[in-house]
Structure 1
């Protein structure tokens, strides 16, 4: 099958390679000349046979919006755009209206798998019409992980791919997925910190590695933490600054809008905000209050600076 891929970075580039290994023809475009097969979006569209399928894998927000607006003018009725970045689901609904006015189909695809997707496959959550999804199904089948089998050797349906609903459902599902991811990473991080804080535990990386088999908390994220600790046992080579890419915030916003209690995911999001503060104003206020009502000692800035290693 033929596909146009726009955006050949870490995700788009690896997805392109996985599709080519599955004998699909991919025409790639990227702003970086050395990566691309064609020099412009018009060239990309011209290189594809109708009905065309074009996958957009560029940063969410204005880059995605501008790309889809240009594609909608270039493509023909019956063609399909797949938007696979980390866009907000409400943006998809706006893009869908724009595309439908031109007779172009639109699918939003939440994609999970990171840099490991090339070898392991990508989990795909898509939104769109049944007709549009069916047109792109061979592409989704090549990208998703191999299906697991039950005890009788029968392939188990559903694993790694879902048509979640109409346009917006794919990115909404990925948004919730990433919110859960925030909470899982926070829990593993807190467990690591407690293990490292006590003298009783002599092999922190070993304890965490022991959890990867036979326990109820084993997961791919835990495997990745083990890998990180093998490379840097005390995590001395990195800082504790953690960004958020938007999905965690959007998940909490939707929880509020729909009156769904989500204390764990919300706390993990706020913990990332705390990670960006060298000297938390909140904790300054807490220290000052403890001093005011209880006479508890506070550490002066000068003393704190003097204790820092040279």
Structure 2
């Protein structure tokens, strides 16, 4: 690391900011923190921590040009933080927004603080808590010469291959936003796989299945690994010890960034059906459709006399209504049909 870049200010010492601070100290980077509450573990590592109303003290501990990583929730708090820094920091200081801010906001913020002589980088940060603690993935937007000032520290805190200068202001948060959309799609497909495994006719050990899938299969990944470890209730990379799978609430919360991505896709007429549907599934998990299914039931009752709510007779008809309802594998055993083709399609003798 360059000798003139051995200090880092971190504003916001939550899950990501706090873990980055720990990693930085262990990499011999002098860290100065700012947070609204005490962080004994960080203070024990020698990190001075100042309250949010002590900007002058915070800045006085950092030599210029200062490099400051802001890790606060997206929204007005980012603007408030930048405003405080703009009033007190020195020309040439670099401020990095490491949160999940909207990329258009990042373009505006870069222009705003540039008027005060400060530099701005939008730093999309991925890798979760383990990444922040042991080596993160950074997607950076901003001017090349500004990136070069912060690059030594970001390179030290990133996993190998995990640092990219994506382009001008806004590019880092845009790439991170698309990343989050891809993440949602992957999560949804894995979740639907779990649904299929649980609904099937076999008594499967989900933990063993996911361990198997993560051992050389095409879909091996960190997410599949986390699913296996969560089922096993192994805390290797979990924030807290997970509850038994069946006790986890069937509700998914999120902070809304991927909603922005879907809106951008609509504006640009870019089809993203998987990502869009993954967002809809999160909405459904929260029970937000309180009236839609009632409306469907009302109309079905009107045109067909269909029942309201669960009905044993309808259930029986759904299960037994098709006379030829054998599984394809059974058909294959009975009359030589292919188990992977519709039953009304003949099997080529040559196959």
| TM-score normalised according to structure 1 size | 0.89
Partner of 1:32: 37
SS in 2 for 1:50: coil
Deviations 1:29-71 (A, max 9, x none): 1011345523422111111111111111111111111001110
Partner of 2:294: 284
SS in 2 for 1:160: strand
Q: Pick the aligned partner of 2:224 from 184, 199, 222.
A: 222
| Superposed counterparts of 1:95-244, under 5 Å | 95-145=109-159, 147=160, 159-231=161-233, 235-244=245-254
Deviations 1:235-290 (A, max 9, x none): 22211111221221111111111221100000000100000107642222222222
Q: Distance in 1 between matches of 2:122 and 2:296?
A: 45
Deviations 1:186-206 (A, max 9, x none): 111111011111231331222
Q: Distance in 2 between matches of 1:3 and 1:118?
A: 15
Taking a change above 3 Å as real, the CA distance of residues 169 and 239 of structure 1, as seen in their structure-2 partners, is: same
Partner of 2:274: 264
Aligned 8 A contact 1:5 1:55 in 2:
yes
Aligned 8 A contact 1:7 1:56 in 2:
yes
Q: Distance in 1 between matches of 2:15 and 2:69?
A: 15
State the Cα distance separating 1:108 from its structure 2 match.
0.4
Q: Distance in 1 between matches of 2:243 and 2:141?
A: 41
1:43 and 2:57 equivalent? yes
Deviations 1:1-27 (A, max 9, x none): 111110011100000011111111110
| Superposed counterparts of 1:287-298, under 5 Å | 287-298=297-308
Which structure has the higher relative contact order (CA within 8 Å, separation 6+)? Answer: 1
Aligned 8 A contact 2:12 2:70 in 1:
yes
Q: Which has the larger radius of gyration?
A: 2
Aligned 8 A contact 1:4 1:48 in 2:
yes
Query: How many aligned positions are there?
Result: 289
Q: CA RMSD in A?
A: 1.8
Q: Distance in 2 between matches of 1:201 and 1:279?
A: 32
Deviations 1:66-113 (A, max 9, x none): 001110111111111011011111111121122111111100000001
SS in 1 for 2:129: helix
- Per mean C-alpha deviation after superposition, the further-off stretch among 83-92 and 27-36 is 27-36
Q: Distance in 1 between matches of 2:73 and 2:243?
A: 33
Partner of 1:59: 73
Q: Distance in 2 between matches of 1:294 and 1:74?
A: 71
SS in 2 for 1:111: strand
- Per mean C-alpha deviation after superposition, the further-off stretch among 240-249 and 159-168 is 240-249
State the Cα distance separating 1:295 from its structure 2 match.
2.2
Q: Pick the aligned partner of 2:91 from 68, 77, 84.
A: 77
Q: Distance in 1 between matches of 2:263 and 2:165?
A: 24
SS in 1 for 2:10: strand
SS in 2 for 1:18: helix
Taking a change above 3 Å as real, the CA distance of residues 193 and 22 of structure 1, as seen in their structure-2 partners, is: same
User: Which aligned runs of 4 or more in structure 1 are off by greater than 3 angstroms?
Assistant: 33-36
State the Cα distance separating 1:222 from its structure 2 match.
0.9
